[in-house]
């Protein structure tokens, strides 16, 4: 397994191919949304769960159309679109429960990421051990924040985590566009 990071030229070529002339505007948009999330985490939490609900509902509608156009339909084929539609509608009707659920998923993600950070140096022969260890500790702290403040803390923490992520993604893309 190759654990060396790609060189900057490869990263630039990949991002430019994906975003082309929109690299800089996308970077600025991500930074603005991330900054809004840090100022108003409740707004970004609500926006995030709203987008997830919309994707679930849209996915359910597409699966429903696919099944209706199919000649060979079974009872089990209806489960996926009904679950997608039902979950999306439940989130729309009770967004606070959706945000709380997303908070639990984030806690699980950070715990799993901490595990990966603690075991990664063994796989890489010890390269970057202090940074992996530091990242693992930060992951555990974030996971504990989610778990200790759940469910009400998720309303703020989801927005902050998504906001920080978008802000740093935007900064990284902006720096890449300047190098290009």
Task: Report which of 67, 99, 69 is spatially closest to residue 81, judged by C-alpha positions.
Answer: 67
Based on its alpha-carbon atoms, the radius of gyration of the chain, rounded to whole angstroms, reads 20
Asked whether residue 6 is assigned to any structural domain, the reply reads: no
Asked whether residue 90 is assigned to any structural domain, the reply reads: yes
Distance CA 123, CA 111 (A): 19
Asked whether residue 108 is assigned to any structural domain, the reply reads: yes
Distance CA 28, CA 145 (A): 29
DSSP 8-class letter at 77 = G
Distance CA 82, CA 128 (A): 46
pTM of the model: 0.76
Express each pLDDT in 20-41 by its tens digit. Answer: 778 788 889 999 999 999 999 9
Distance CA 22, CA 27 (A): 8
Asked whether residue 13 is assigned to any structural domain, the reply reads: no
What is the count of structural domains for the chain? 1
Query: Are the C-beta atoms of residues 139 and 113 closer than 8 Å to each other?
Result: yes
Asked whether residue 78 is assigned to any structural domain, the reply reads: yes
Asked whether residue 160 is assigned to any structural domain, the reply reads: yes
Other C-beta atoms closer than 10 Å to the C-beta of 48 total 21
Distance CA 73, CA 57 (A): 21
pLDDT at residue 45 above 60? Answer: yes
Residue 108's domain comprises 21-179
Express each pLDDT in 120-152 by its tens digit. Answer: 777 766 677 888 888 889 999 999 999 999 999
Express each pLDDT in 163-180 by its tens digit. Answer: 999 999 888 888 877 765
Asked whether residue 10 is assigned to any structural domain, the reply reads: no
Residue 96 C-alpha from the chain's centroid: 18
Asked whether residue 4 is assigned to any structural domain, the reply reads: no
Categorize the per-residue pLDDT at 94 as very low, low, confident or very high, splitting at 50, 70 and 90: very high
Query: Are the C-beta atoms of residues 88 and 123 closer than 8 Å to each other?
Result: no
Query: Are the C-beta atoms of residues 36 and 44 closer than 8 Å to each other?
Result: yes
72, burial (CB in 10 Å: exposed 0-12, middle 13-18, buried 19+): exposed
Q: Which residue has the tokens 């702290």?
A: 141
């Amino acid at each position: 397994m190759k654990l060396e990071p790609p060189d900057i030229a490869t990263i630039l070529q990949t991002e430019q191919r994906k975003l082309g002339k929109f690299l800089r505007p996308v970077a600025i948009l991500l930074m603005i949304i991330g900054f809004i999330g840090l100022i108003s985490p409740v707004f970004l939490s609500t926006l995030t769960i709203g987008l997830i609900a919309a994707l679930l509902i849209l996915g359910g509608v597409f699966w429903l159309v696919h099944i209706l156009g199919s000649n060979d339909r079974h009872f089990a084929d209806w489960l996926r679109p009904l679950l997608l539609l039902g979950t999306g509608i439940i989130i729309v009707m009770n967004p606070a429960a959706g945000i709380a659920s997303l908070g639990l998923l984030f806690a699980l993600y950070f715990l799993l990421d901490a595990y990966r950070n603690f075991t990664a140096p063994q796989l890489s022969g010890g390269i970057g051990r202090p940074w992996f260890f530091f990242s693992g500790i930060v992951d555990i702290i974030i996971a504990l924040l989610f778990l200790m403040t759940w469910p009400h803390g998720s309303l703020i923490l989801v927005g902050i985590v998504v906001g920080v992520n978008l802000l740093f993604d935007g900064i990284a893309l902006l720096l890449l566009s300047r190098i290009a």
